[in-house]
Structure 1
Amino acid sequence: MSSMQLGNLGYLLLLGAILVFWLFVQNRESLGKKAQAAAAWGLIFLGTIAAIGLWDDIRQTVVPQQAVFADQGRIELPRAPDGHYYVTVGLNGAPVRFVVDTGASGMVLTRGDAVKAGLDLDGLAFYSQAMTANGPVQTAPVEIATVSLGPFSDRDVRAYVNDGEMEQSLLGMTYLQRFDRLEISGGKMFLER
């Protein structure tokens, strides 16, 4: 746990202790009923914490994931609740999550995803420029030795590492053009070769 999380936990424990103390001092005559109420609220509190802690796991089982149909040469990507399509692509063997962006020209990596793919950030030259919705950003052109998506594998794929802040890597048109068919229908994106 980080120091921030420990501080939050300490604060919640202190707040809980104060509430319990107040509960017992307020009505000493009916302690049995107060103990039942405190137990009920304690269970509600623990249930809420458990749900928050397990939310990512719950969401992963409820939200559909990308499906690969290797025999048909097809990949299906479900639309995420935020309206975007996400796909996990292997870069030099490392899984990297991308948002599919048909408005992006190239494959653009965050600095963190570039490190995951085994690229040396210290050796990159950020001399090219890309235009984004937030204005221009500096990028460094790179070549990724192996890019794999389901049964499809490509070698020496050109990409860019973004020097600015970016939440998610973008899978743009230079990679998507490698597919024979890209279709959006019924809340799914289909990629075929």
Structure 2
Amino acid sequence: MLKFATIAIVGALSAVGAAKAVVSLDDLRQPDLRGPAPAAAVADDGAAQIVKGPDGHFWAEAKVDGRAVRFLIDTGATTVALSQTDAQRLGIDVRGLDYKYKVITASGQTRAASVKLASVAVAGAQVRDVDAMVIEKGLETSLLGMSYLGRLSSFQATPRALILRS
């Protein structure tokens, strides 16, 4: 399963690299994508609704083990992928991890370590005991992949928003 997850992360990270290349060629008036994530709202039926960002991607601020992490939502990523910076902010000892999985990022080949997150929540859509990987180098933005999304009761992409139901 972890080999499959590693292969899927390679594809997802390649897609993120391609998306970053397209965004960098976009109009110079484009908003700074490193700023705060678009606000997630809770709909009348209790579903979390994430508005599509100006770059065409879905960005979310999630609570991971009680701490805020900005994610690019990536349905092509098998697992949640954490950058070194986000992993450290979550209190993960990144130097003590076993980086035994090889992955390819936009910056080239690197390694990843498997971790378990106690909880991940986006606007109330919470999942407990989420499998994730910490990427050793080359991942600037953490990815919210299918190890979270696939455990929701449903998620739906519309032309303007992503709707998450826990």
TM-score by length of 2: 0.71
1:97 matched to 2:70? The reply is yes
Measure how far apart 1:131 and its partner are.
4.2
Q: List structure 1 runs of 4+ shifted beyond 4 angstroms.
A: 131-135
Q: 2:96 maps to what in 1?
A: 123
Q: 2:82 maps to what in 1?
A: 109
* Larger of the two Rg values belongs to structure: 1
Q: 1:182 maps to what in 2?
A: 155
Q: Distance in 1 between matches of 2:155 and 2:119?
A: 21
How do 1:132-171 and structure 2 match up within 5 A?
Answer: 132=105, 136-171=109-144
Equivalenced residue count is 134
Q: Distance in 1 between matches of 2:65 and 2:78?
A: 21
Query: Larger RCO: Structure 1 or Structure 2 (Cα < 8 Å, ≥ 6 residues apart)?
Result: 2
Measure how far apart 1:153 and its partner are.
3.0
Deviations along 1:18-62, one digit per CA (max 9) or x if unpaired, are: xxxxxxxxxxxxxxxxxxxxxxxxxxxxxxxxxxxxx87xx87xx
| Higher share of residues assigned helix | 1
Measure how far apart 1:123 and its partner are.
1.1
1:68 matched to 2:15? The reply is no
Measure how far apart 1:103 and its partner are.
1.1
**Counterpart AA for 2:58:** Y
Q: 2:11 maps to what in 1?
A: none
SS in structure 2 of the partner of residue 72 of structure 1: coil
Unaligned runs of 5+ in 1: 1-54
- Does the CA-based 8 Å contact 1:92-1:118 persist in structure 2? no
Q: Distance in 2 between matches of 1:64 and 1:120?
A: 29
**Counterpart AA for 1:108:** A
Measure how far apart 1:138 and its partner are.
0.8
- Does the CA-based 8 Å contact 2:61-2:70 persist in structure 1? yes
Measure how far apart 1:134 and its partner are.
5.7
Deviations along 1:78-120, one digit per CA (max 9) or x if unpaired, are: 1111111011111111100000011111100000000111111
Residues 185 and 91 from structure 1, CA distance in 2 versus in 1: closer, same or farther, beyond 3 angstroms?
A: same
What CA RMSD, in Å, does the superposition of the two structures yield over aligned residues? 2.4
Q: Distance in 1 between matches of 2:118 and 2:138?
A: 25
Unaligned runs of 5+ in 2: 1-30
Q: 1:4 maps to what in 2?
A: none
Q: Distance in 2 between matches of 1:167 and 1:128?
A: 18
